[in-house]
Amino acid sequence: MITYGKQWIDAEDIEAVSEVLKSDFLTCGPQVDAFEQEFAAPVGAKHAVAVNNATAALHLAMLVAEIGKGDRLVTSPNTFVSSANCAAFVDATPDFCDIDPETYNLCPKALAANWQADTKAVVAVAYAGQSPDMPAIAQIARSHGAVVIEDGCHGIGGGFTVDGKDYKIGGHPWADITTFSFHPVKTITTGEGGILVTDNDEYARRARLLRSHGITRVTEDFTGLGGDSATLQEQGGWYYEMQSLGYNYRITDLQCALGRSQLKKLPGFIDRRRAIVAQYNAAFADLPWLQTPQILQSENVAHISWHLYTVQIDFKALGLSRSEAMQRLREQGVGSQVLYIPVHLQPYYRNQFGYGVGKCPNAETYYEQTLSLPLFPKMTDGDVDTVIRSVNKLAP
């Protein structure tokens, strides 16, 4: 079965992880710092804080940006649930703004039109790897004093162009914090894993602290244990203070060694993804019942790292339900996936926040027609042909 996404693990990756198993540090060791630096450098971000998954990174983003009770967070409904759940983790109100019907990304016009006074954060998701209009989103959010969090989980290694200048996701002036995921279907993997990048020194310092229980071992930061703090505060390598409520969101050295090994292959992974997308786009261009992915601006085509290849299909024209079409593909050995069910329609969001059908009509229409086809670098040319042939066979 050709699944919709899959990791690439080779002998170098296995060797990198094995070396860590033979070393002194399985966690909190040198691989973590090295991975953070090697990830941040090509992105162009000042700080990177690696964590155990991107959901944790989004939670930390909320905490360091001080989003909490009484605050509203707006994101796209066309995303994985984490992009919104992070608001609920901190007792803020997750909310949704409709998508642009062409790019399937958060629509700046809808964001501006539906702005509410208590909105303190926008989570801008780079769906499938294509960034939304970040300058427009940042302009709207910042004019109201809200923080911009870029959910770059789909966009590792990707970027976009503004006024002729190229920017990397996570390395541009229109986001305060960017998060990435290293789940196996993502562009590189650490098994599970995530990272938060930011140019903000204080955000990075706080994220590091909260990643590990809010505990500090930095002497200058010690405030003592109360009472006569001069006597109750101890010195020495063994002493630590917990200064705020943190979590265990640490990532292991095993994972970071894998991440470092994967980073070396990232340019090749992206090239292969782009080549497969080009083949699909050419093969499907003339199917009247299928819409290939649309790009916000033509100069961005070269920058998208393509986590997903998602098409819109007129299932009525095919005389098939989506499930029937997926079953037909499966019979040919082709997996597919639905990404995403609009988050505001999930029972939790309907029950807790009263959201429902009609709140984000573009995302709902998009959902009815969406299908993600296999896309991962290990696909052979034969696999790509199989997908193309199987999709063509859906024709009435």
Ligand X SMILES: Cc1ncc(COP(=O)(O)O)c(C=O)c1O
Q: How far is the CB of 151 from ligand X (least distance, A)?
A: 5
Task: Write the CB contacts of 332 (distance below 8 Å, at least 6 apart in sequence).
Answer: 386, 389, 390, 393
Cα angle 169, 36, 127; round to 5: 25
Tokens read off for 224: 């003592």
Nearer to ligand X, 149 or 290 (CB): 149
Distance of alpha carbon 324 from alpha carbon 219, whole angstroms: 63
- Selected from 153, 175, 196, 343, the binder of ligand X by CB under 6 A is 153
Contact 153, 54 (CB under 8 A): yes
Binding track, positions 68-97, relative to ligand X; x by CB under 6 A: -----------xx-xx--------------
Between residues 79 and 372, which has the closer beta carbon with respect to ligand X? 79
Residue with tokens 């819409």: 291
Residues 161-190 that bind ligand X (CB under 6 A): 181, 183
Cα distance between residue 239 and residue 246, in whole Å: 17
Q: How far is the CB of 83 from ligand X (least distance, A)?
A: 5
Compute the 3-state secondary structure of the chain and give helix, strand, coil in percent, each to the nearest 5.
40, 15, 40
Residues annotated as part of the active site? 186
53 or 93, CB closer to ligand X?
A: 53
Select 178 or 212, whichever has its Cβ closest to ligand X: 178
Query: In the beta sheet, which residues pair with residue 27?
Result: 252
CB of 355 to ligand X, least distance (A): 19
DSSP β-ladder status, 177-181 and 147-151: parallel
Report the distance separating Cα 235 and Cα 315, nearest Å: 69
Q: How far is the CB of 2 from ligand X (least distance, A)?
A: 20
- Name which of residues 53 to 72 contact ligand X (CB under 6 A): 53-55
Using the contact rule CB under 6 A, the part of the chain among 133-141, 149-157, 251-259, 359-367 near ligand X is 149-157
Does residue 151 interact with ligand X by CB under 6 A? yes
Q: Which of these segments, 147-155, 158-166, 207-215, 385-393, binds ligand X (CB under 6 A)?
A: 147-155
How far apart (Å, rounded) are the C-alpha atoms in residues 209 and 341?
Answer: 35
Helix (H, G, I), strand (E, B) or coil at 352: helix
Per-residue interface string for the shown chain with ligand X, residues 107-126, x marking contact by CB under 6 A: ------------------x-
Of 34-42, 49-57, 243-251, 313-321, which part binds ligand X (CB under 6 A)?
A: 49-57
Are residues 130 and 101 in contact, defined by beta-carbon separation less than 8 angstroms?
no
Q: Binding to ligand X by residue 194, rule CB under 6 A?
A: yes
> In the complex, what is the shortest distance from the CB of residue 30 to ligand X, in angstroms, rounded to a whole number?
23
DSSP run (H or E) holding 160: strand 159-162
Q: Fill in the amino acid letter for 72.
A: R
Return the number of other C-beta atoms located less than 10 Å from residue 288's C-beta. 8
Closest CA to 72 of 355, 364, 389, 380: 355
Question: Least separation, in Å, of the C-beta of 19 and ligand X?
Answer: 24
Nearer to ligand X, 5 or 315 (CB): 5
Which one of residues 47, 59, 72, 154 is an interface residue with ligand X (CB under 6 A)? 154
**Residue from 112, 75, 111 nearest 92 by CA:** 75
> Could you say whether residue 310 binds ligand X (CB under 6 A)?
no
Interface ranges with ligand X (CB under 6 A): 53-55, 79-80, 82-83, 125, 151, 153-154, 181, 183, 194
